[in-house]
Structures are given as structure tokens and as C-alpha cells.
Amino acid sequence: MESVRKLIRDIPDFPKKGIIFKDITPVLADPTAMAAINGAFEKQIEGLKPQRIVGIEARGFIFGAVLAHTLRLPFSPVRKPGKLPYQRVSTSYKLEYGEGTLEMHTDGVRRGERVVIIDDLLATGGTARAACDLVEKQGASVVACAFVVELGFLGGRKLLEGRRIVALTAY
């Protein structure tokens, strides 16, 4: 993961002053790094017997869809409001910079299903927690929340208490 870490670019004061944005686009442009990330996710997640991958808009779609393809699992999106066309469940949450709402289709997970939630980065944990709430509200269980990057100093793990966390790199 050291080579992945080297590709992650710090952008100070984006999208707001005081935030150091972790830009993962150089990682997306590096097929070797992408393969390493996907392999690491696969290794840590396969044994949990997941039945579905849920990806969080937008960068969670990229890593989540690749992993879902590798594990031959269905993929479902969690999106910002106004994007999903079918019947939805929604929940509001706090994030590092602002507030938001996330939505998921009512057929996005099945009752009793074992779900892995994927996003690029864990910051304060509000986004991932909202995704967990959407999945659990519909009777499925979150067997892991997986991230390429964890900003450990923000303590996001606390909000995900009781759920397994997979983080490939940490700051």
C-alpha cells in the first residue's frame, strides 16, 4: 500500500479553507495501484461471505464496482438526493464539511443480506454511518465498511461502532 499512499495527493483548502482534500485521481490513473487496492479489499472481504457491495457516491462507485465485479457480487449505489429514479429510502447525516442526505433504492438490498459498504475515504464517519443506516433500515446487515483511506485523527470509527472496518491506508 506504500505505492498507493505515494499517489494520494493532498490539496489544501479544498473544497473549503482548512480542509486537506485527499485527491485519489492519480490512484485511478494507475492500473497497478488499482489492482493492489482491489486485491487487498478482496483478501480482507472475501472471508466475510458478503452477498452484495454497496458503493457510496461518487468515488465509492469506482472501487465498489471493481470489487463487486471481482467477487461476482451485485452492486448497489447509495446516492445524493434527486439522483435515484425508483422508490427510495433516505437519511440525513453530518460530514466533515457541511450536511447532507443520502438515498438508496428500496430494492438496493434484500432483507437478511450480508453487505459490504465501500467508499474512498473515512473522515468523520457521517457518510458511511448514513449508508449503514440505509442498509440496516431495510433489514440487511453490514459485514464491513471498507475504505482506501482513513483519516484516523477525525475519529470516524466511533460513529461506525460495532461494525468491522477495513482501511487500506491511514493518516
Q: Looking only at residues 41 through 60 of this chain, which bind ligand AMP when binding is defined by CB under 6 A?
A: 56, 59
76 to 115, contacts with ligand AMP by CB under 6 A?
A: 95-96
Stretch that binds ligand AMP, among 14-22, 40-48, 61-69, 79-87 (CB under 6 A): 14-22
Residue 126 contacts ligand AMP per CB under 6 A: yes
Our finding on whether 22 is near ligand AMP (CB under 6 A) is yes
Beta bridge partners of 22: 10
Which CB, 12 or 47, lies closer to ligand AMP? 12
Can residue 125 be called a binding residue for ligand AMP (CB under 6 A)? Answer: yes
Regarding 127 and contact with ligand AMP (CB under 6 A), the answer is yes
Report the 10 Å Cβ neighbour count for 131.
27
Give bridge partners of residue 9 from the DSSP assignment.
23
Tell me whether residue 114 or residue 157 sits nearer to ligand AMP (CB atom). Answer: 157
CA 26 centroid distance within chain = 18
Residue 96: active-site member: yes
Quote the Cα angle for 106-109-111, to 5°. 100
Task: Provide the 3-class DSSP secondary structure of residue 11.
Answer: strand
Strand order in the sheet with 141-150: 75-78, 52-56, 114-122, 141-150, 165-170
Active-site positions read 59, 96
Binding residues for ligand AMP, rule: CB under 6 A, are 19-22, 56, 59, 95-96, 119-128, 156
